[in-house]
């Protein structure tokens, strides 16, 4: 069978392409912007990519078109598909029907931390011989790709699949969140805040969609829920039909930082389970680890085994990834944080673990929510742990200069080269420079590194 994927270079759709290729499908695809790392991953797998959405692609005559949620009405190729009454499905629906329908699905949902927690959980299961399939919305350090089919040759064992469960809508013709298609048996709910202002009206709207997911968990399934999230508590109160455990809860799953600030003691029902030594920073990552350990326990992996696996966890690209160590002890990090809560948590985590030097935050308010200005005031508060801030104002609908006018430690500019030059000229020894964007940030990371040479 031949499938042609519209919007193939997004992390989710590229993952589907990889899984379909591994299943033996002929896979082709197209996208407006063909870019790494997913374009590289697809090329390595021999998947052909066409630049753009020209209607002539119907001449490929695939058996079915898989439609990514970046595709809207008016797209030339999509209009041709509709006019010719050609068969099409959304990515999430195709994934369930062809991959997930007979698997024990472990899904990770929440506003923040999905990618890292999914990678942690997949690595725990892999390290303990369960050979899971997975689809991760990023490039995990412990695996060669963002998606893989499970090993179905294991005898007397369920076939597990770990998936990042995105709350974003499915497709232009299916406005439900992607995650309702996955039918998980084990579900992690990391947190819940207002985000994606382009598709959700408010937090209540998001809670309604998350509860649609809660409704799909079977009676003997299990929800692993963050006890610190009031919004999740309110969502669960709408109705619960499955088992539930809480993390970041002193009575259930909790942790304690050790004096070295590089290790945490894991506790379950106040009983010590072991000490996790790793290089990840912040409460958010410790919380992610608790969730992954609890979820793994549901499929039979002991906390001790999970802790051992996480001690070799290598993180995910663009999640506080240290990309350079320069002269005078300057450290450069690349991070995906773009929501104010994620920015705040990441910077506070760094402030608690760094031994010296300033924190320099370089931000691009690039997400649809930030471009709409829904969280301008929260953005200011999220930067309190930074000693210096640089804000790139590309394509904003609101005035960042006005927002930062009484913020003396900030520079605001729409010129990426000026920001790069200022970072280097104003740096101090042992600075921790953190680039924070959900895109490629116009390559500023490489520009700054080059200027330091």
**Strand pairing of 160-164 and 169-171?**
unpaired
Q: What is the pLDDT of residues 326-352, one digit of tens each?
A: 988 999 999 888 788 889 888 988 888
Q: Is the bond into 73 cis (omega within 30 degrees of 0)?
A: no
Q: What distance in Å separates the CA atoms of residue 37 and residue 439, rounded to the nearest whole number?
A: 12
What letter would DSSP give residue 98?
I
Amino acid 35: pLDDT: 67
Q: What is the pLDDT of residues 13-35, one digit of tens each?
A: 999 999 999 999 999 999 997 76
Amino acid 95: pLDDT: 98
Domain ranges in the chain are 2-89, 102-310, 321-452
What letter would DSSP give residue 221?
-
Residue 80 DSSP SS3: helix
Place 288 in a pLDDT band, splitting at 50, 70 and 90.
very high
Place 291 in a pLDDT band, splitting at 50, 70 and 90.
very high
Least confident of 248-257, 288-297, 300-309, 347-356: 347-356
Q: What distance in Å separates the CA atoms of residue 267 and residue 274, rounded to the nearest whole number?
A: 8
Q: For residue 31, what are its two tokens? A: 């996208």
More confident residue, 259 or 371: 259
Place 11 in a pLDDT band, splitting at 50, 70 and 90.
confident
Least confident of 52-66, 143-157, 208-222, 322-336: 143-157
Q: What distance in Å separates the CA atoms of residue 60 and residue 72, rounded to the nearest whole number?
A: 21
Amino acid 125: pLDDT: 97
Place 69 in a pLDDT band, splitting at 50, 70 and 90.
very high
Q: What distance in Å separates the CA atoms of residue 372 and residue 368, rounded to the nearest whole number?
A: 6
Q: Is residue 226 within 8 Å of residue 190, measured between CB atoms?
A: yes
**Cβ count near 104 (within 10 Å):** 20
Q: What distance in Å separates the CA atoms of residue 378 and residue 390, rounded to the nearest whole number?
A: 16
Q: What is the pLDDT of residues 383-409, one digit of tens each?
A: 999 999 999 988 788 888 999 998 888
Q: What is the pLDDT of residues 96-120, one digit of tens each?
A: 999 999 999 999 999 888 999 999 9
Residue 314 DSSP SS3: coil
More confident residue, 237 or 394: 237
Crossing angle, helix 114-127 and helix 282-298, to 10 degrees? 40
The CATH number of domain 321-452, selected from 3.90.190.20, 3.40.50.620, 2.160.10.10, 3.40.50.720 = 3.90.190.20
Residue 340, H or E segment: helix 340-353
- Classify residue 309 as exposed, middle or buried by CB count within 10 Å of its CB (0-12, 13-18, 19+): buried
Amino acid 337: pLDDT: 80
More confident residue, 261 or 86: 86
Residue 222 has pLDDT above 70, yes or no: yes
Amino acid 193: pLDDT: 87
Residue 194 has pLDDT above 70, yes or no: yes
Q: Cα dihedral sign for 430, 431, 437, 441?
A: negative
Q: Is residue 111 within 8 Å of residue 229, measured between CB atoms?
A: no
Q: What is the 3-state secondary structure (H, E, C) of 279-306?
A: CCCHHHHHHHHHHHHHHHHHCCCCHHHH
Per the document, the length of the chain is: 453
Q: What are phi and psi of 219, to 5 degrees?
A: -55, -40
Least confident of 111-125, 312-326, 416-430: 312-326
Q: What distance in Å separates the CA atoms of residue 172 and residue 77, rounded to the nearest whole number?
A: 14
Place 40 in a pLDDT band, splitting at 50, 70 and 90.
confident
**Percent of the chain scored above 70 by pLDDT?**
98
Amino acid 198: pLDDT: 75
Least confident of 188-197, 225-234, 414-423: 188-197
Mean pLDDT of the chain: 92
Residue 369, H or E segment: helix 368-371
Sheet holding 64-67, edge to edge: 48-51, 26-31, 2-6, 64-67, 88-90
Amino acid 164: pLDDT: 97
The CATH number of domain 2-89, selected from 3.40.50.2300, 3.40.50.720, 3.40.50.150, 3.30.1180.20 = 3.40.50.720
**Strand pairing of 26-31 and 48-51?**
parallel
For domain 102-310, give the fold: 3.40.1190
Q: What is the pLDDT of residues 158-179, one digit of tens each?
A: 899 999 999 989 999 999 999 9
Q: What distance in Å separates the CA atoms of residue 288 and residue 272, rounded to the nearest whole number?
A: 18
Q: What distance in Å separates the CA atoms of residue 165 and residue 110, rounded to the nearest whole number?
A: 8
Amino acid 352: pLDDT: 82
Residue 156 has pLDDT above 70, yes or no: no
């Amino acid at each position: 069978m031949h499938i042609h994927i519209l919007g193939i270079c997004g992390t989710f759709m590229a993952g589907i392409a990889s899984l379909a290729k591994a299943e033996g499908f002929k896979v082709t695809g197209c996208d407006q912007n063909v870019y790494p790392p997913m374009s590289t991953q697809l090329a390595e797998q021999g998947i052909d990519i066409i630049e753009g959405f020209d209607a002539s692609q119907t001449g490929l005559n695939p058996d079915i078109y898989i439609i990514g949620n970046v595709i809207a009405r008016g797209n030339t190729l999509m209009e041709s598909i509709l006019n010719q009454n050609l068969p099409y499905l959304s990515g999430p629906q195709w994934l369930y029907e062809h991959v997930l329908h007979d698997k024990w699905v472990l899904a990770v949902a929440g506003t923040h931390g999905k990618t890292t927690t999914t990678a942690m959980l997949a690595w725990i299961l892999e390290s303990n011989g369960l050979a899971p399939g997975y689809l991760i919305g990023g490039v995990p350090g412990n695996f060669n790709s963002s998606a893989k089919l499970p090993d179905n040759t294991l005898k007397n064992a369920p076939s597990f699949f770990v998936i990042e469960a995105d709350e974003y809508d499915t497709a232009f013709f299916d406005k439900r969140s992607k995650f309702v298609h996955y039918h998980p048996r084990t579900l992690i709910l990391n947190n819940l805040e207002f985000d994606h202002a382009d598709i959700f009206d408010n937090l209540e709207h998001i809670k309604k969609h998350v509860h649609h997911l809660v409704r799909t968990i079977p009676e003997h399934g299990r929800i692993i829920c963050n006890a610190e999230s009031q919004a999740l508590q309110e969502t669960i109160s709408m109705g619960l039909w499955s088992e539930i455990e809480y993390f970041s809860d002193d009575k259930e799953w909790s942790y304690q930082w050790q004096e070295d600030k590089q290790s945490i003691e894991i506790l379950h029902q106040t009983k010590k389970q072991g000490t996790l030594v790793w290089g990840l920073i912040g409460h958010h990552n410790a919380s992610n680890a608790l969730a992954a350990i609890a979820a793994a326990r549901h499929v039979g992996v002991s906390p001790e085994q999970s802790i051992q696996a996480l001690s070799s966890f290598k993180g995910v690209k663009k999640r506080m990834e240290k990309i350079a160590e320069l002269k005078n002890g300057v450290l450069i990090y690349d991070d995906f944080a773009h929501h104010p809560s994620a920015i705040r948590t990441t910077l506070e985590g760094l402030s608690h673990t760094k031994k010296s030097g300033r924190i320099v935050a370089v931000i691009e308010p690039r997400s649809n929510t930030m471009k709409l200005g829904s969280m301008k005031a929260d953005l200011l508060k999220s930067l309190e742990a930074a000693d210096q801030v640089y804000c790139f104002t590309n394509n904003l609908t609101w005035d960042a200069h006005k927002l930062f006018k009484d913020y003396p430690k900030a520079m605001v500019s729409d010129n990426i080269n000026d920001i790069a030059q200022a970072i280097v000229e104003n740096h101090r020894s042992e600075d921790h420079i953190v680039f924070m964007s959900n895109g490629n940030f116009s390559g500023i990371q490489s520009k700054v590194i080059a200027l330091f040479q």
